[in-house]
Amino acid sequence: MTEFSREELNQFIGLHRESKNFINLNPIQRGGILTPEARKALVEFGDGYSIYDLSPGLEIEKIPLVKRFISDILPRFLGADAVRITLGAREGIFNVMHSITKPGDTILVDGNRHYTTITAAERAGLRVIEVPDSGYPEYRIDVENYEALLKEHKPKLLILTYPDGNYGNLPDAKKLGEISKEYQVPYLINGAYAVGRMPISMKEIGADFIIGSGHKSMASSGPIGVLGMDKKWEKPLLRRSDRYPEKSVEFLGCELRGSAIATLMGSFPAVVERVKNWSREVENSRYFIDKIEEIDGIKQLGVRPTGHDLNFLETRVFYEISKRHKRRGFFLYRELKKRGITGIKPGMTKNFKLSTYQLKKEELKIVINAFEEISRMD
Amino acid sequence: MTEFSREELNQFIGLHRESKNFINLNPIQRGGILTPEARKALVEFGDGYSIYDLSPGLEIEKIPLVKRFISDILPRFLGADAVRITLGAREGIFNVMHSITKPGDTILVDGNRHYTTITAAERAGLRVIEVPDSGYPEYRIDVENYEALLKEHKPKLLILTYPDGNYGNLPDAKKLGEISKEYQVPYLINGAYAVGRMPISMKEIGADFIIGSGHKSMASSGPIGVLGMDKKWEKPLLRRSDRYPEKSVEFLGCELRGSAIATLMGSFPAVVERVKNWSREVENSRYFIDKIEEIDGIKQLGVRPTGHDLNFLETRVFYEISKRHKRRGFFLYRELKKRGITGIKPGMTKNFKLSTYQLKKEELKIVINAFEEISRMD
C-alpha cells in the first residue's frame, strides 16, 4: 500500500485563504462570490451527493425543486426554450459543437473569444475562423465583419463572446442575431461574464444558444454552468440514449451532480435582484474609470465609455515605477496587498484587467486612493 | 426583463436537508460525506474561483500545492504514472474513449457496468459488447469470459467496473490485467466505488487507466473525479492545443475549477487513513449481513461473503408486508425514517442496495434492530 509521510499529508490540512477579506479585483472571482443564502446551501449540501436528500429516491434532475429551476425558472431567466446544467461554460460550448457539427466543419468566432472556445473546437475537430478585433486601443468586434467570412467559409456555427473577458466589450449581439438568421447559421452567445451580472435574453438577441457560468457570474461554487437553447436544437442536443431512453447522451445522463447546484439555486433570488441593478454597476465602473484616469499614465482600453464592470487598463505609470523598483514588476501586487487589495496578477504593471463588480462606493474609493498613492511612489 | 414572483424566488431560500443527521444507507452518499477538514476547506473556498487565492496569478493546475497533489501525491495514491482531475467518473471514462478510440470502434465492458459507461460510449460513437454476469444470485463477472469476446470483436478498449455499483462484486481485476496485456488491448478500471474507500493500485492490477469519483468515494463535494493513466497514454490523453501549447485539448484547458478541488485535497489525509482501515469496513459489512440474514426472508445477493460495503439485499419479508400495508411499498421508507434511518429508495421492498461504509458499530446495531422490528410488523 502507498505510504505517505506525515509532512506530505499535513500540507493539505488547514487550507487557508489569506486574502479572504481583501478587496478582490480579479474579474474571474467577483461574480462568483457566494451570497449568504448560497453559503448556507453550500454548507447544508456540502457532502458529495447530498443533494439527493432534497427528494430521496429521485434522480437529481427529477427532484421537483431542481426540475422547476431547470425547466421553468432558468429558461425564463435566460430567454431560452430549454436549459441544461453543464459543468461550466467551456463544457457547454463543447456540448453544442459536439452535437451540431461534424469534425472538419468550420466555425466563426470573435477574435476576443476565451482560449477555451479554441480548445473546445480542437476537441471537436473543427476549423476555426476568427473575426478580428479592431486592435489598439478599442479592440472592438464589429459584427458586420462576420458577413464576408460567412460567405467565404460557410461555417456551421457562429460564436460571439459577450462581453469578452479581456476588455469587457459588448459587441452588437442583436445585429449578429439578424445576420445569423439571414444566413441560417446557428448562433451561440458566450455570456460567461453576462449571465448573472447583467440583463440578457437569448431570444431578444436572436441567438440559438446561450452559455453562462455559475462560478464566474452566478454567485456559485463550481464547477457549474448553464446552457440555454432554442427549441429547434433540443433534438440534437438532448438526444436520448438508445439503451437508456430516459438518459441524455451528450450530457452523459446528467451533468448535474454535487453541491454546486445547491449554490446555484441558493443564490438565484439574489442574482435576479442584482441583475436588475446592473445600471448602477455600470455607473460605478464608469465612476472608477473616470477617477483613475485622472492619474497621469492610466488609461482604460476597450470601447469607451465602458459598459461593463470588467475593464482593461493600460498603466504606464506603474510600469515606469517597476523599472526602478527593487521588486520590479511585483511591487504593484505588494503595494496593493499592503492596502488590503488583491486580484491584480503579480508581476503585471504595464496593463491588466480588473473588475469593480459589486464593490461598494467606499471600497471603490479605497482602490482609487491606493492607485493614486502608488502612482506617486518614487 | 424577466419578472419572477416573490413565491417563485422564495422556494430557493432556506434549502434544507431534513435527513442531515440520519443514518444514511445510500451507497452513492456514504463515501462522499466530507471529513471535518474538507468541510473547513469547503467553507474557506466556497466562492466560485476562490481557489486562485492559494497562489494569486497562477493557473489552478500550477498552484504549487495543487501541482504536488496532482503530479506526485495522487499518482502514488492510484498507482498511476500521471493523473488528471476530471469532472466525475463518467467524464473521465469519456475522456479516455474520446482520446484513444474512433467512432465505430468496439469496446468490451462488464455486464455490471454503470449506465454512464454506455452513454459515454454512445457519445463517443462506440459499439459496446458486454461480458455477461452469471445472473441470480451471484451476478458474478468471470473475467475469463472477456477472452472469447476479445478474439471475436477485436475491441479497442476493455472496461471493468470494480466493484460494480449494484452488488459490490469485485471481479478478478488482476487476471484481466494479464489478459489485456496478452491481447494488447488498453484496459480501464472504473473504481468509482473503490478509489478512496479501499486499497487499489492501477499498476498492481495491470490496468492502463483508473477512474475514481471524488463525490462518490473520496469525501468531496462534487462534481469532481480523478483519472490515472500509464505513461504510454499521456500522448493521446494529454495532447496539447495547437494554438495554446500549454493547454490540454481533451480537458478543455483544465477541468479543474471551483471549490470541489479544495475538498478533495482537504479530505485527502483522512482518506489515506480510512483506506488503511478497509479490512475493518469489510468486517463490519459482513457482520451486518450476518445479522440481518438471521431475519427470515432477507438474503444478500452478489458474491458471498461480501468483500465490500455496498451490498444488494433480497428482502422478501418486506415485500410480503408491503402487499398488506396501506402505504404499500412506501411503508419501509417511512418505518426507517421514523427510526432516523434513510437512503433506501422510497417504494422499494423486494430488493435494494445499501452501504454500511464508515458506520459505527452502534449505528449498524440501530439499523439491524430497525430491520428486525420492521420485519415483525403485521
pLDDT digits (tens, 9 = 90+) for B266-282: 999 999 999 999 999 99
Residues of B in contact with A224 (CB under 8 A): 258
Residues of A in contact with B49 (CB under 8 A): 26, 28-29, 32, 215-216, 222
Residue A289 has pLDDT above 80, yes or no: yes
Inter-chain touch B45–A76, beta carbons under 8 Å: no
Handedness of CA A271, A273, A274, A275 (dihedral sign): positive
Within-domain flag for A240: yes
Cell readout for A280 is 448602477
Residue B219, min C-alpha distance to chain A (Å): 7
Residues of B in contact with A242 (CB under 8 A): 122
d(CA B343, CA B357): 13
Instruction: Say what the pLDDT of residue A254 is.
Output: 83
Inter-chain touch A123–B250, beta carbons under 8 Å: yes
Q: Indicate if A262 and A351 belong to the same structural domain.
A: no
- H-type helices in chain B, by residue range? 6-10, 27-30, 36-44, 64-68, 74-78, 89-100, 115-123, 145-153, 173-183, 202-205, 214-217, 234-237, 260-276, 278-292, 316-324, 331-338, 361-375
Tens digits of per-residue pLDDT, A167-189? 999 999 999 999 999 999 999 99
Please say whether the beta carbons of B257 and B52 come within 8 A.
Answer: no
Percentage of chain A lying above the pLDDT 90 cut: 94
Tens digits of per-residue pLDDT, B86-124? 999 999 999 999 999 999 999 999 999 999 999 999 999
Nearest CB to A48: which of B37, B216, B262? B216
Please say whether the beta carbons of A1 and A230 come within 8 A.
Answer: no
Within-domain flag for A27: no
Whole-number CA gyration radius for chain B: 22
Residue A228, min C-alpha distance to chain B (Å): 15
Inter-chain touch B56–A19, beta carbons under 8 Å: yes
Whole-number CA gyration radius for chain A: 22
Nearest C-alpha in B relative to A22: B53
Nearest C-alpha in A relative to B51: A17
Which of the listed residues B274, B302, B334 is the one where a domain comes to its end?
A: B274
Q: Which long-range contacts (CB under 8 A, 24 or more apart) does B364-367 make?
A: B364/B284, B364/B287, B364/B288, B364/B291, B366/B23, B366/B339, B366/B340, B366/B341, B367/B23, B367/B25, B367/B288, B367/B341
Mutate one of A50, A118, A216 to test the B interface: name it (highest B CB count within 10 A).
A50
Within-domain flag for A24: no
Q: Indicate if A215 and A288 belong to the same structural domain.
A: no
Tens digits of per-residue pLDDT, A141-157? 999 999 999 999 999 99
Residue B351, min C-alpha distance to chain A (Å): 14
Inter-chain touch B269–A120, beta carbons under 8 Å: no
Residues of B in contact with A67 (CB under 8 A): none
Residue A342, min C-alpha distance to chain B (Å): 8
Averaged pLDDT, B354-360: 98
Residues of A in contact with B116 (CB under 8 A): 252-253
Residue A374, min C-alpha distance to chain B (Å): 20
Residue A42's Cβ-count burial label (10 Å; 0-12, 13-18, 19+) is buried
d(CA A234, CA A248): 11
Nearest CB to B259: which of A222, A248, A346? A222
Residue A315 has pLDDT above 70, yes or no: yes
Cell readout for B86 is 476530471
User: Please, which pLDDT band fits residue A324 given cuts at 50, 70 and 90?
Assistant: very high
DSSP string, B110-170: ETT--HHHHHHHHHTT-EEEEE----TTT----TTHHHHHHHHH--SEEEEESS-TTT---
Cell readout for A349 is 504593471
Residues of B in contact with A47 (CB under 8 A): 29, 32-34, 221
Q: Indicate if B228 and B282 belong to the same structural domain.
A: no
Arithmetic mean of pLDDT over chain B: 96
Instruction: Say what the pLDDT of residue B222 is.
Output: 86
Residues of B in contact with A56 (CB under 8 A): 19, 26, 333, 342-343, 345-346
Q: Are β-strands A298-301 and A225-229 bridged in parallel, bridged antiparallel, or unpaired?
A: unpaired
As a whole number of Å, the end-to-end CA separation of chain B is 58
Biggest CA–CA distance in chain A, Å, is 71
Arithmetic mean of pLDDT over chain A: 96
Residue A322 has pLDDT above 80, yes or no: yes
User: Please, which pLDDT band fits residue A256 given cuts at 50, 70 and 90?
Assistant: confident
Whose grid coordinates read 458529495? A48
Residue A378 has pLDDT above 80, yes or no: no
Q: Indicate if A73 and A203 belong to the same structural domain.
A: yes
User: Please, which pLDDT band fits residue A204 given cuts at 50, 70 and 90?
Assistant: very high
What backbone phi and psi angles, to 5 degrees, belong to B257? -145, 155
Cell readout for B102 is 474512433
Inter-chain touch A15–B244, beta carbons under 8 Å: no
Q: Indicate if A117 and A220 belong to the same structural domain.
A: yes
Inter-chain touch A15–B41, beta carbons under 8 Å: yes
Residues of A in contact with B54 (CB under 8 A): 15, 17
Inter-chain touch B15–A41, beta carbons under 8 Å: yes
Within-domain flag for B107: yes
> Of B181, B179, B187, B178, which Cα lies nearest the Cα of B156?
B187
d(CA A166, CA A100): 28
Residues of B in contact with A65 (CB under 8 A): 11-12, 15
Q: Indicate if A68 and A193 belong to the same structural domain.
A: yes
Classify B374 as helix, strand or coil: helix
Nearest C-alpha in B relative to A15: B41
Nearest C-alpha in A relative to B117: A252
CA B81-B86-B88 angle, 5° bins = 120
Residues of B in contact with A1 (CB under 8 A): 199, 275-276
Residue B198 has pLDDT above 80, yes or no: yes
Cell readout for B262 is 479544495
CATH number where B340 lies:
3.90.1150.10
Nearest CB to A17: which of B18, B44, B243? B44
Q: Indicate if B107 and B219 belong to the same structural domain.
A: yes
Classify A161 as helix, strand or coil: strand
CATH number where A168 lies:
3.40.640.10
Instruction: Say what the pLDDT of residue B254 is.
Output: 83
Residue B237, min C-alpha distance to chain A (Å): 11
Mutate one of A71, A115, A123, A128 to test the B interface: name it (highest B CB count within 10 A).
A123
Mutate one of A119, A128, A242 to test the B interface: name it (highest B CB count within 10 A).
A119
Q: Indicate if A233 and A190 belong to the same structural domain.
A: yes
Residues of B in contact with A34 (CB under 8 A): 46-48
Within-domain flag for B17: no
Q: Indicate if A302 and A176 belong to the same structural domain.
A: no
Q: What's the number of domains chain A is made of?
A: 2
Q: How many contiguous H segments (helices) and E segments (strands) does chain A have?
A: 17, 12
Range of the domain at A126: 36-274
Which of the listed residues B241, B274, B307 is the one where a domain comes to its end?
A: B274
Residue pairs between chains A and B whose CB atoms are closer than 8 Å = 315
Residue A303, min C-alpha distance to chain B (Å): 25
Annotate B296-319 with b (16+ C-beta within 10 A) or e (fewer). Answer: eebbbbbbeebbbbbbbbbbebbb
Q: Indicate if B111 and B242 belong to the same structural domain.
A: yes
Averaged pLDDT, B173-201: 98
**E-only strand ranges, chain A:** 23-24, 82-86, 106-110, 127-131, 157-161, 187-190, 209-213, 225-229, 298-301, 310-315, 341-342, 351-355
Tens digits of per-residue pLDDT, B112-168? 999 999 999 999 999 999 999 999 999 999 999 999 999 999 999 999 999 999 999
Within-domain flag for B7: no
Nearest CB to A258: which of B40, B73, B260? B260
Within-domain flag for B19: no
Residue A348 has pLDDT above 90, yes or no: yes
Q: Indicate if A283 and A249 belong to the same structural domain.
A: no
Instruction: Say what the pLDDT of residue A1 is.
Output: 64
d(CA A90, CA A211): 9
Cell readout for B311 is 451490498
Residue B255 has pLDDT above 90, yes or no: no
Nearest CB to B49: which of A32, A56, A268? A32
DSSP B286: H
Residue B1 has pLDDT above 80, yes or no: no
Q: Are β-strands A106-110 and A298-301 bridged in parallel, bridged antiparallel, or unpaired?
A: unpaired
> Which amino acid does the sequence have at A159?
I
Nearest CB to B15: which of A1, A91, A262? A262
Residues of A in contact with B221 (CB under 8 A): 42, 46-48, 221, 258-260
Residues of A in contact with B255 (CB under 8 A): 87, 223
Nearest C-alpha in B relative to A98: B123
Within-domain flag for B330: yes
Q: Indicate if B132 and B229 belong to the same structural domain.
A: yes
Residue B74, min C-alpha distance to chain A (Å): 10
Residues of B in contact with A271 (CB under 8 A): none
Inter-chain touch A73–B8, beta carbons under 8 Å: yes
What backbone phi and psi angles, to 5 degrees, belong to A377? -65, 150
Instruction: Say what the pLDDT of residue A259 is.
Output: 87
Instruction: Say what the pLDDT of residue A57 is.
Output: 87
Residues of A in contact with B122 (CB under 8 A): 241-243, 249
Which of the listed residues B249, B274, B299 is the one where a domain comes to its end?
A: B274
B332 CB-near residues (< 8 Å, 6+ apart): B318, B321, B322, B344, B348, B349, B374
Nearest CB to A17: which of B26, B45, B343? B45
> Which amino acid does the sequence have at B356?
T
Residue A377, min C-alpha distance to chain B (Å): 23
A289 CB-near residues (< 8 Å, 6+ apart): A300, A305, A306, A311
Percentage of chain A lying above the pLDDT 70 cut: 100
d(CA A319, CA A314): 9
Residues of A in contact with B277 (CB under 8 A): none
Nearest C-alpha in A relative to B278: A1
